[in-house]
Structures are given as structure tokens and as C-alpha cells.
Amino acid sequence: MLDTYRAVETPEGVELGLRVAGPPVRLLAWGIDTVIRSIVYAFLGAVFSIAGETGLGAFLVLLFLAEWFYPVFFEVLGGGATPGKRRLGLLVLHDDGTPVGWTASILRNLVRFADFLPMAYGFGLLTMLLHRDFKRLGDLAAGTVVVHRAETAGPAGVPRHAAEPPAVPLGLEEQQAVLEFARRLPTWTGERAEEMAEAALPLTRERGRAGVERLLAIANWLVGRR
């Protein structure tokens, strides 16, 4: 079987486990996005045609912008995924596992013209087949990777919870302690969890169950959940 698991360390020193996405599922996501764009373009074309040549010119400008910036908009503002990627559980990240930003997203999508050559994304497909992380030329240029969105997108064992940033900056050892607390939380009784959370009172400023919830929220923030 292909080994698609990659362990990366975030700038905060937290290790994330990522499962990179291969060509077949990415092709399906691209197909879904193509269908969505085609439907929208057909609708807008019909609307703008009412205005004659002026409407046609405006439609062509809009078509150009939408074709190039449709992926950028969704990747940056839509949690790293276009509708097609989201439907198939994919998302775009920086190589270090952090959410993709404007610069990287614009670059990876502008390089699509090279990926498309000589036809039908020939170079892009060839590059993905040759690269261990299935990167096309745009990903190589922008330092991005397409991965499967896991239910536990951060370190294994951190239960999902509404994320909150810590009130004070945390060192690497303190971050690791918070994450370890979250991982072990399901194995403890409620009383034991509250007892352990008492040790972090200067951080949580809460006692009892509220302190436990606060630590769990910080752990989710540390693994990149927002």
C-alpha cells in the first residue's frame, strides 16, 4: 500500500499527522468544481446577455476573474477547500500544516497554466505521479500540499471542542502538557480530570469542570482548529 501519512511540525512545535491526497480523488474534486463553475457561468451568461455587447464584455471580464480566483477565494476564506474539495474531504495547507494564506493560494493557482500544459493538466498529473506528496507544479511553487481532512485534524486523541487561544503565551513544554492533558482526558473520571486541571489554574483561571473545558479549548486551538 502507498504510504500517504506525513508527520509535520507546526511553528508552535506541535506535531500534526497529515494524509496526503492522490491524483484520483483530486481529479474528482476538480470535476465537481468544474460542474459548479459551468452552471454559474451559464446562468451569468444568460443574465449579462440581456445588456448586449456591453453585457458580454462585462461577462468576459467576470469570467476571467472567476476562473482564476474561484479556488483562491475558497481556499483562503473557505477553510482551505473549494466546494469540490470539501465534498470529498480534502483541504489545502502549507507544507508545515498551517492554513493556506493569500500569497500561497494565489501562486499555486496562477501556476495552473503550466500544470495544464501540454493539454488536460498533463504536466500537473505527471508531477503528482512523480512526487511523494502528489504535488503538482503549483504546489511545488507555493509550498502547499493537498490532504485528506480527518476528524482529528491535529495530533491523535485530542477530542474536538470549541477552540480558544490561551490568555498568555505558552512555551513548548507548556503546549505539550496541555495537549497531553487533552489526549488523556477520555481515560479519566470527571473528578480526576478536574483534579488535574487544578494544576493549570494560573492558565485557565477556572475551577472544576470549567477549568477542564478551558484546557480542552486551548488544546484544540493549539492543533489548529478554529
> What local confidence, expressed as pLDDT, does residue 110 receive?
93
| Cβ atoms 107, 116 nearer than 8 A | no
**pLDDT tens digits, 182-207:** 988 888 888 889 999 999 999 999 99
> What local confidence, expressed as pLDDT, does residue 1 receive?
38
- Mean model confidence pLDDT for the chain: 87
Give the residue-averaged pLDDT of 8-14: 62
Cα angle at 75 between 87 and 19, to 5 degrees?
A: 60
Amino acid at 170: L
**pLDDT tens digits, 99-116:** 899 999 999 999 998 998
| Cβ atoms 37, 65 nearer than 8 A | no
Residue labelled with grid coordinates 479556488:
71
**pLDDT tens digits, 139-157:** 999 999 999 886 444 455 7
CA separation for the pair 174, 109 (Å, rounded): 38
Is residue 44 pLDDT above 80, yes or no?
yes
Between the alpha carbon of residue 49 and those of residues 34, 40, 53, 179, the distances in Å are 22, 14, 8, 57
